[in-house]
Amino acid sequence: MDHATFPLDVKSLSEAGRIEGLAAGYGNIDAHGEVFAPGAFAKSIAAIGSAGRAPAMLLHHDLRRPAGKWDAFAETRAGMTVAGSLALDAADGREAYALLKAGALGGLSVGFRTIKERRGEGGTTIITEAELFEVSLVSVPSNPITKISAVKAIGDVRDLETLLRDTGMSGRKAKAAAAAAWRAANETPATNEIETKLAAILTQSTNAIRTIRS
């Protein structure tokens, strides 16, 4: 089994331990001279879904150290995205949570078997089809683009406040903004509409914060 590792960027972390992010980026060369072509994991993801199973969420590719469960996989233009939850009732899940919170885990790493490949420019290997076995949380990344975009679960206004504070907003402003956003989102009773509206408010707020800080 081969591995390809990508850096992660934890933007928020709550007690629920929800993880979302890009596990394998497409079109960029990693430290091993390998490139995943768009759609490289498409067949594998489809097979996983049909079989009702999920690749393991591990710490450091150690089969004896499951940290949680991946429950969603998708192909996007950027690459293969994953989502899951840390098992906070288990020792390795708690350890992964603590390491993520401390910034001590630097990457997501996919364990895979190459099915089809071809040679690219400059001696690179372009992987056009691969079978996915596991996605690990690891300490050292080898690819410059893939990241965990969220380790979160917004269950109430306090979770929302934490998310805003983690993006760099002061405690006072985060509290006020979270309260206003939560009220605005919950003006509509339909759950999907609430989530959509809340997501739009958060996106606008965090983009503004990043612009100010950059």
Q: Are residues 130 and 42 in the same domain?
A: yes
Domain limits for position 73:
2-151
Domain count, the chain: 2
Task: Compute, in degrees rounded to 10, the torsion defined by CA atoms 152, 11, 134, 80.
Answer: 110
Q: Are residues 147 and 195 in the same domain?
A: no
pLDDT tens by residue, 62-102 = 999 999 999 888 888 888 888 889 999 999 999 998 888 88
pLDDT at 58: 93
Q: Of 131, 151, 171, which closes a domain?
A: 151
* Average pLDDT per consecutive 10 residues, the chain (214 residues; last block may be shorter): 61 70 79 85 90 88 92 85 90 91 79 91 89 86 50 59 60 77 60 52 47 34
Give residue for tokens 């972390």: 13
Domain shared by 170 and 97, yes or no: no
CA 200/CA 160 separation, integer angstroms = 13
pLDDT at 191: 46
Last residue of a domain, one of 97, 123, 151: 151
Radius of gyration of the chain (CA): 18
- Predicted local distance difference test score (pLDDT) of residue 141: 54
Residue 93, phi then psi, degrees to nearest 5 = -65, -45
3-class SS letters over 113-156: EEEEEEECHHHCEEEEEEEEEEEEEECCCCCCCCCEEEECCCCC
CB 24 within 8 A of CB 40: yes
Considering 103, 125, 151, which residue would you say is the last residue of a domain? Answer: 151
pTM for this prediction: 0.62
Give, in order, the Cα–Cα distances in Å from 39 to each of 7, 35, 48, 85, 170: 20, 12, 15, 25, 41
Closest CA to 12 of 123, 206, 211, 150: 150
Within this chain, do residues 70 and 112 fall inside the same structural domain, yes or no? yes
Give the closest residue to 153 by CA, choosing from 13, 5, 22: 13
167 and 147 share one domain? no
> Can you tell me the distance from the alpha carbon of 27 to that of 30, in angstroms, rounded to the nearest whole number?
10
Q: Are residues 191 and 112 in the same domain?
A: no
CB 105 within 8 A of CB 99: yes
pLDDT of residue 214: 33
DSSP label at residue 177: H
